[in-house]
């Protein structure tokens, strides 16, 4: 029998990239990345809401930088992170606590379908006003 | 299926609570996103926020949100650090930093919400500059 290889902590990026991955390992890696990104966003969010304390002018002036098409698109992509992390979080809980191991492959597929649908639905909510302006 | 181990004695409170907060956050988070983008203004203008904050329900919702998200997020970050063999001093330093930074930002966010004035909505322009 091949000797059991110890997990190499120093080279964990390489270790994580090298083993064979199925859907579950990707889910685990992406859950981490999206979780960390949301945490980073939360810090920025609290900072960027702070001009609310200084009244209307200050806040609207601050926000005017972030209502450009670029930032609107970024907010949409952020929703993809939110969706992945939430749906996968629910999936983890179901697999552990609701006997989801018996149907985890199906659960994975449903999550992806629900996620894609919700992503585009949110896109419609976010951009419908612009779309309506184009086609009236 | 495995029967649950006694979760109270095995230090897994934070693990269970990570899931419980996560499940609550799904609802709050998706609601937040829809609300904040329902119109282009609703998430990006002072008046929209001011109008919402006239209701204490929204204030309580936001305060719950910030506390849960901050706990869940930082507990998650701590969980990632715990995957590595930390020396005791490293663990203590990281844990303290997370707690201090987390508390500071949470209080800052709470202050932001509580600072928003109550006004009579129909004449809000006259009462708040
Ligand atoms: C929107 C609803 C959310 C759900 C359903 C959810 C669910 C979960 C669950 C179940 C875990 C534990 C994973 C495990 O047991 O291995 C987790 C981990 C984590 N969550 Fe969330 N979460 C949500 C929102 C958030 C938010 C808003 C943040 C950031 C502020 C965040 C940051 C994290 C981090 C950093 C981890 C640790 C990741 C890891 O250990 O690899 N989550 N989440
Ligand atoms: C990009 C889309 C988003 C927009 C436009 C947005 C906008 C806002 C606004 C205007 C507020 C002020 C309070 C209110 O009106 O209710 C607020 C509060 C809040 N948001 Fe968001 N938000 C977004 C995404 C997020 C995400 C992804 C998170 C979680 C990581 C989040 C977490 C919070 C929290 C915790 C509060 C309460 C803040 C406090 O207590 O000071 N938001 N958001």
Predicted complex ipTM = 0.84
User: Is B19 within 8 Å of A100 (Cβ atoms)?
Assistant: no
- Which CATH entry fits the domain spanning A23-134: 3.40.50.150, 1.20.1300.10, 1.10.3210.10, 1.10.260.40? 1.20.1300.10
Which range of residues forms the domain containing residue B111? Answer: 7-128
Residue B69 lies inside a defined structural domain of this protein: yes
Cα gap B90→A71, rounded to integer Å = 37
Number of folded domains in chain B?
1
Q: Which pLDDT score, from 0 to 100, does residue B122 have?
A: 57
Count of H-run helices and E-run strands, chain B: 5, 0
Q: pLDDT tens for residues B76-109?
A: 999 999 888 888 999 999 999 999 999 999 999 9
User: Is B69 within 8 Å of B25 (Cβ atoms)?
Assistant: yes
What percent of chain A clears pLDDT 70, i.e. is strictly above it? 79
What percent of chain B clears pLDDT 90, i.e. is strictly above it? 52
What is A10-58 written as a DSSP string?
A: TTHHHHHHHS---HHHHHHHHHHHHHHHHHHHHHHHHHHHGGGGG-HHH
Mutating to test ligand 1, I would choose from B21, B22, B62 the residue with most ligand atoms within 8 A of its C-beta, which is: B22
Residue A68 binned pLDDT confidence (cut-offs 50, 70, 90)? confident
The better pLDDT of the pair B129, A132 is held by A132
Quick check: B129 pLDDT over 50? no
User: Is B70 within 8 Å of B102 (Cβ atoms)?
Assistant: yes
Which region among B5-14, B35-44, B90-99 has the lowest average model confidence (pLDDT)? B5-14
Q: Which pLDDT score, from 0 to 100, does residue B1 have?
A: 42
Query: Hey, are the CB atoms on A56 and B115 less than 8 Å from each other?
Result: no
Residue B113 lies inside a defined structural domain of this protein: yes
DSSP B122: G
Question: Does A49 contact ligand 2 (Cβ within 6 A)?
Answer: yes
Here the CATH number for the domain that contains residue B56 is 1.20.1300.10
- CA-nearest of A8, A52, A12 to B47 is A52
């Amino acid at each position: 029998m091949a000797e059991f290889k110890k997990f190499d902590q120093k080279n964990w990026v390489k270790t994580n990239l090298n083993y064979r991955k199925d859907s579950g390992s990707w889910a685990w890696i992406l859950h981490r990345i999206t979780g960390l990104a949301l945490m980073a966003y939360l810090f920025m969010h609290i900072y960027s809401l702070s001009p609310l304390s200084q009244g209307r002018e200050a806040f609207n002036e601050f926000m005017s930088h972030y209502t450009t098409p670029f930032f609107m698109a970024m907010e949409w992509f952020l929703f993809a992170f939110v969706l992945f992390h939430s749906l996968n979080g629910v999936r983890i809980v179901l697999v552990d606590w609701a006997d989801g191991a018996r149907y985890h492959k199906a659960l994975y597929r449903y999550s992806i379908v629900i996620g894609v649908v919700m992503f585009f639905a949110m896109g419609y909510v976010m951009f419908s006003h612009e779309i309506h302006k184009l086609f009236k | 299926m495995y029967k649950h181990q006694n979760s109270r004695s095995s230090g897994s409170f934070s693990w269970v609570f990570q899931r419980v907060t996560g499940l609550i956050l799904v609802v709050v988070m998706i609601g937040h996103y829809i609300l904040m983008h329902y119109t282009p203004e609703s998430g990006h203008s002072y008046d929209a926020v001011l109008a919402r904050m006239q209701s204490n329900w929204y204030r309580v919702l936001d305060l719950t949100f910030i506390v849960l998200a901050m706990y869940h997020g930082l507990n998650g970050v701590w969980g990632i650090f715990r995957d590595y063999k930390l020396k005791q001093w490293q663990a203590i330093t990281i844990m303290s930093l997370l707690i201090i930074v987390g508390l500071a930002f949470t209080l800052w966010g709470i202050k932001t919400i509580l600072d928003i004035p109550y006004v009579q909505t129909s004449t809000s322009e006259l009462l708040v500059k």
